[in-house]
């Protein structure tokens, strides 16, 4: 079934909806009285100049990528609960630019060499000049080194539930990377090479598979073969679930994600990744869409969801100005509809390039239906287009926002939580745009983001908002020194807060995802506030206790445990003098004694009070951990009961878990669960054995176990099995460890081992 196209009458409904004056409203977003944007430490310097038009990208798993001339620099944000330092905790890694050149396959080597000789000395000056100045066709001119663009996949695409990274170099090499181990990146597949092999098998034909009559000695044919495999940009779709028929004719739900690649000739190449994606050989060519855009500039996904219906398409911008949506056809996806033909969003050719395309889902207050807001930068203007789908069809409303910036917009990013846009020009001014419906019309509330003192006068290359809009990252360099540019440029990444602590707490308590790891940027704001004030705000403690009384869910207990751990760092005793420093000489000691140095000694009363606070916090932390431990044990035993037959031996220490839970006589749910499992086990006991001496491993502690011969083994935090191998997985915050799934493990045990850490929701990564 296809969705209807926009009626011609929609053009009569176009309105010039530009902006409104700021209105007072109760919002925690920026800027409001009581919250001033604050620059956080550290300022991250870059060792190489910035490359690419959109160098910053923030992933859903809180990793920031920066495109530079030597590598793709990656900064991962962590909420370290074992440190009392107030600055951001960032772990830095990088993916270097490959040293070997990227060579495209366009035909036989002998024919290509003959074509190179012919066009390098061609008698037609226009043709020869076009050949000699093309860095893709004629790499002898010199190619640029660096990263052109980076794109992050949705969360949960790799084997550990994190994001895949698509990386495009200035030499037109497109590759997919993943981080299987902590702070380590591995190449999965080179899509440029794979697509070149696919084109060679098709004889470099177009989508209709008609063989080409021209050869490489025809300059237009040579250009076409290079342009059809030169990527400009790539974007990931959201995750789709489709039905797949197995060998026994049963249907299973399989998740997939699509990667759309925009080529220089306007073609759209779609690659299909089945999740979790672990092997680069499993990537599948999905479709080729000919857009007809001769000079493409930008690409973005348009995805529409309303109840049980969904549609998607690819938004393509042009260097000449037009903007349109190309349909994408998906099979076996429940409730998926396909557009009948392309949707024109803007058709005027005014030679203002379309860049920074973003798509935001909205709810229309009049039609009571989902709609899509598409925004893009065109020079110093912001283009917007509202797509409203109703029973009458699709209506397109579009216009431009003028007067925002005096210079061209270099970056446009979206806060999808509060539905706000942030635009930035090279002069450093950042504007915030909030779309608002006034009846059936759409207006934008404009706000100036206050400039940070240390960033005034610096040149901005790009901005990116964190997944939950707690921070905005700014990539900057020196501005003009007097009236002249600086001799040497240094590039830096700055982090500025966008939300106040109370706004972050409100979002954390009402989080629909119920996952602390997905809210890392908001958690860091709360951590910073607790470390600065050395206390948990009373209003936060009261709100959390009230939430726990209303719904006793593990997520709220993890949040409480996080707060207690951060507060515990504030009462830790100071380490005193650094042990690594050499001891001073006697002369220096004598000089210090002569001075008027004032030494403050903590009173005995303060020491006793600090020890009391430390003991109370330690007891509260242990109580919260014990509660989470018991809830997870009951969850594991419930899975064991549902997936085992009578008297079946499993590798999970069922008897030890039941004995541990039976120590608390007030847990009625645990008593009932233990009774059902004992009836199924029929008085049989299955003990764990040591892999070295075959002695029995007792279940005395949930963290580790020791056999009678003294062999110590750690226990898995997910299944409580003894980890008796040399390799295991560790929590991102080093809270716990987990075993790797074995080939002989049943599917339900492998599913248990896919869960995140029970204490902090962080993924478990192989060491």
d(Cα 729, Cα 81) in Å, to the nearest integer? 19
Higher pLDDT, 316 or 211: 316
d(Cα 663, Cα 682) in Å, to the nearest integer? 21
Please report the pLDDT score of residue 429 as a whole number: 87
d(Cα 401, Cα 14) in Å, to the nearest integer? 14
Please report the pLDDT score of residue 590 as a whole number: 54
Q: Is the pLDDT of residue 13 over 90?
A: no
Find the mean pLDDT for residues 703-730: 92
For the chain, how far is it from start to end, CA to CA, in angstroms? 49
Integer angstrom CA distances of residue 130 from 125, 140, 222, 266: 8, 14, 12, 20
Q: How many CA atoms lie within 13 A of 751 on its CB side?
A: 8
What is the torsional sign of CA 342, 343, 349, 352? negative
Please report the pLDDT score of residue 21 as a whole number: 34
Higher pLDDT, 249 or 93: 93
Please report the pLDDT score of residue 48 as a whole number: 94
What is the torsional sign of CA 507, 513, 516, 519? negative
Find the mean pLDDT for residues 150-174: 95
d(Cα 272, Cα 575) in Å, to the nearest integer? 54
Please report the pLDDT score of residue 574 as a whole number: 67
Please report the pLDDT score of residue 369 as a whole number: 83
Please report the pLDDT score of residue 210 as a whole number: 85
- Tens-place pLDDT, residues 484-503: 878 888 999 999 999 999 99
- 43 burial (CB, 10 Å; 0-12 / 13-18 / 19+) is middle
Find the mean pLDDT for residues 183-205: 94
Residue with tokens 């089945």: 274
Q: Is the pLDDT of residue 432 over 60?
A: yes
Q: Establish whether the linkage from the previous residue to 42 is cis, with ω within 30° of 0.
A: yes
Question: Of 112-121, 245-254, 273-282, 708-717, which gets the smallest average pLDDT?
Answer: 245-254
Please report the pLDDT score of residue 188 as a whole number: 96
- Tens-place pLDDT, residues 637-667: 999 888 887 656 678 898 889 999 998 878 8
pTM of this prediction exceeds 0.85: yes
Q: Shortest CA distance to 104 belongs to which of 29, 16, 14, 196? A: 196
Find the mean pLDDT for residues 252-260: 94
Question: Of 168-177, 383-392, 615-624, which gets the smallest average pLDDT?
Answer: 383-392
Find the mean pLDDT for residues 575-602: 54
Please report the pLDDT score of residue 26 as a whole number: 39
Find the mean pLDDT for residues 87-91: 95
Q: Report whether 196 contacts 226 (CB < 8 A).
A: no
Q: Is the pLDDT of residue 2 over 70?
A: no
User: Residue 547: what are its φ and ψ, rounded to 5°?
Assistant: -65, -40
- 394 burial (CB, 10 Å; 0-12 / 13-18 / 19+) is buried
Token readout for 168 is 């495009």
Please report the pLDDT score of residue 516 as a whole number: 96
Higher pLDDT, 572 or 646: 572
Higher pLDDT, 752 or 600: 752
Find the mean pLDDT for residues 37-57: 93
Q: Is the pLDDT of residue 736 over 80?
A: yes
Find the mean pLDDT for residues 365-377: 90
Find the mean pLDDT for residues 337-347: 92
Find the mean pLDDT for residues 232-259: 91
Enumerate the β-bridge partners of residue 305.
310
List all residues 6 or more positions away from 350 whose beta carbon is below 8 Å from its beta carbon.
320, 321
Q: With residue 541 as reference, give the H or E element that holds it.
A: helix 538-550
Please report the pLDDT score of residue 690 as a whole number: 92
Q: Is the pLDDT of residue 735 over 90?
A: no
d(Cα 369, Cα 361) in Å, to the nearest integer? 11
Token readout for 485 is 């540019």
Instruction: Give the mean pLDDT of the chain.
Output: 88
Please report the pLDDT score of residue 766 as a whole number: 87
Please report the pLDDT score of residue 487 as a whole number: 81
- Tens-place pLDDT, residues 104-125: 989 999 999 999 999 988 888 8
d(Cα 99, Cα 102) in Å, to the nearest integer? 9
Please report the pLDDT score of residue 632 as a whole number: 95
Percentage of residues in the chain having pLDDT higher than 70: 91
Q: Is the pLDDT of residue 578 over 70?
A: no
Find the mean pLDDT for residues 501-508: 94
- 432 burial (CB, 10 Å; 0-12 / 13-18 / 19+) is buried
Length of the chain: 767
User: Residue 301: what are its φ and ψ, rounded to 5°?
Assistant: -90, 140
Please report the pLDDT score of residue 575 as a whole number: 60
Query: Which pLDDT band holds residue 18 (cuts at 50, 70, 90)?
Result: very low
User: Residue 117: what are its φ and ψ, rounded to 5°?
Assistant: -65, -40
- What is the dihedral angle through the alpha carbons of 560, 566, 568, 572, rounded to the nearest 10 degrees? 180
d(Cα 60, Cα 268) in Å, to the nearest integer? 25
| DSSP sequence for 663-684 | T-TT-HHHHHHHHHHHHHHTT-
Question: Of 206-210, 379-383, 395-399, which gets the smallest average pLDDT?
Answer: 206-210
Please report the pLDDT score of residue 564 as a whole number: 96
């Amino acid at each position: 079934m296809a969705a209807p196209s926009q009626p011609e009458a929609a053009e009569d409904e176009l309105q010039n909806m530009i902006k409104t004056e700021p209105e007072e409203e109760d919002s925690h977003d920026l800027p409001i009285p009581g919250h001033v944007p604050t620059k956080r430490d550290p300022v991250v310097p870059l060792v190489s100049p910035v490359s690419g038009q959109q160098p910053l990208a923030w992933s859903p798993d809180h990793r920031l990528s920066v495109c530079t001339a030597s590598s793709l620099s990656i900064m991962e944000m962590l909420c370290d609960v074992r440190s009392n330092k107030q600055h951001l905790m960032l772990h830095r890694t990088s993916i270097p630019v490959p040293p070997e050149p990227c060579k495209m396959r366009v035909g036989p080597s002998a024919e290509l060499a003959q074509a190179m000789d012919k066009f390098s000395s061609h008698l037609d000056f226009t043709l020869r000049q076009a050949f000699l100045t093309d860095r893709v066709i004629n790499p002898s001119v010199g190619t640029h080194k660096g990263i052109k663009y980076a794109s992050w996949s949705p969360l949960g695409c790799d084997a550990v539930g994190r994001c895949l990274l698509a990386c495009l170099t200035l030499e037109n090499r497109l590759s997919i990377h993943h981080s299987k181990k902590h702070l380590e990146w591995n190449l999965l597949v080179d899509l440029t090479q794979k697509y070149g092999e696919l084109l060679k098998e098709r004889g470099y034909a177009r989508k209709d598979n008609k063989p080409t009559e021209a050869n490489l000695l025809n300059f237009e044919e040579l250009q076409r073969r290079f342009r059809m495999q030169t990527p400009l940009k790539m974007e990931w779709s959201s995750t789709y679930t489709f039905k797949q028929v197995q060998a026994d004719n049963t249907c299973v739900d399989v998740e997939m994600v699509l990667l759309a690649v925009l080529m220089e000739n306007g073609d759209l190449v779609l690659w299909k990744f089945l999740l979790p994606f672990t092997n680069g050989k499993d990537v599948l060519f999905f479709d080729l869409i000919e857009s007809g855009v001769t000079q493409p500039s930008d690409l973005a996904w348009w995805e529409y969801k309303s109840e049980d219906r969904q549609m998607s398409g690819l938004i393509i911008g042009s260097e000449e100005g037009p903007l349109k949506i190309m349909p994408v056809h998906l099979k076996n996806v429940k409730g998926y509809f396909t557009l009948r033909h392309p949707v024109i969003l803007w058709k005027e050719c005014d030679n203002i390039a379309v860049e920074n395309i973003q798509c935001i889902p909205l709810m229309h207050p009049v039609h009571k239906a989902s709609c899509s807001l598409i925004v893009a930068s065109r020079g110093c203007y912001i283009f917007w287009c509202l797509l409203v789908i109703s029973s009458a069809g699709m209506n397109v409303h579009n216009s431009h926002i003028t007067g925002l910036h005096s210079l061209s917009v270099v970056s446009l990013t979206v806060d999808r939580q509060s539905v706000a846009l942030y635009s930035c020009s090279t002069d450093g001014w950042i504007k915030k745009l909030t779309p608002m419906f006034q009846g059936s019309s759409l207006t934008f509330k404009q706000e100036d983001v206050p400039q940070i003192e240390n960033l005034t006068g610096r040149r901005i290359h790009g901005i990116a908002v964190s997944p939950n809009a707690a921070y905005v990252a700014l990539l900057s360099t020196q501005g003009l020194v007097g009236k002249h540019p600086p001799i040497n440029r240094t590039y830096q990444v700055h982090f500025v807060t966008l939300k106040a602590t109370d706004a972050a707490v409100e979002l954390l308590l009402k989080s629909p995802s119920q996952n602390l790891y997905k809210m890392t940027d908001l958690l860091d704001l709360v951590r910073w506030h607790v470390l600065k004030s050395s206390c948990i705000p009373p209003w936060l403690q009261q709100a959390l206790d009230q939430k726990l009384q209303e719904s006793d869910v593990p997520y709220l207990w993890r949040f409480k445990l996080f707060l207690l751990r951060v507060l515990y760092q504030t009462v830790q005793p100071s380490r005193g003098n650094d042990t690594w420093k050499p001891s001073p000489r006697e002369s220096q000691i004598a000089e210090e004694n002569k001075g008027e140095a004032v030494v403050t000694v903590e009173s005995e009363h303060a020491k006793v009070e600090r020890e009391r606070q430390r003991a109370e916090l330690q007891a509260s932390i242990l109580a919260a951990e014990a509660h989470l431990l018991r809830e997870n044990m009951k969850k594991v035993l419930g899975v064991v009961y549902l997936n085992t037959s009578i008297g079946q031996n499993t590798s999970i220490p069922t008897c030890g878990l039941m004995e541990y839970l039976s120590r608390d006589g007030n847990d009625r749910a645990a008593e009932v669960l233990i009774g059902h499992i004992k009836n199924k086990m029929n008085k049989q006991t299955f003990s764990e054995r040591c892999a070295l001496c075959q002695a029995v491993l007792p279940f005395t502690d949930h963290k580790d176990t020791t056999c009678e011969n003294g062999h110590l083994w750690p226990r898995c935090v997910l299944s409580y099995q003894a980890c008796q191998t040399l390799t295991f997985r560790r929590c991102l915050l080093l809270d716990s460890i987990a075993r790797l799934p074995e080939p002989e493990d049943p599917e339900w045990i492998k599913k248990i081992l896919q869960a995140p850490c029970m204490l902090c929701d962080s993924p478990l990564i192989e060491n």
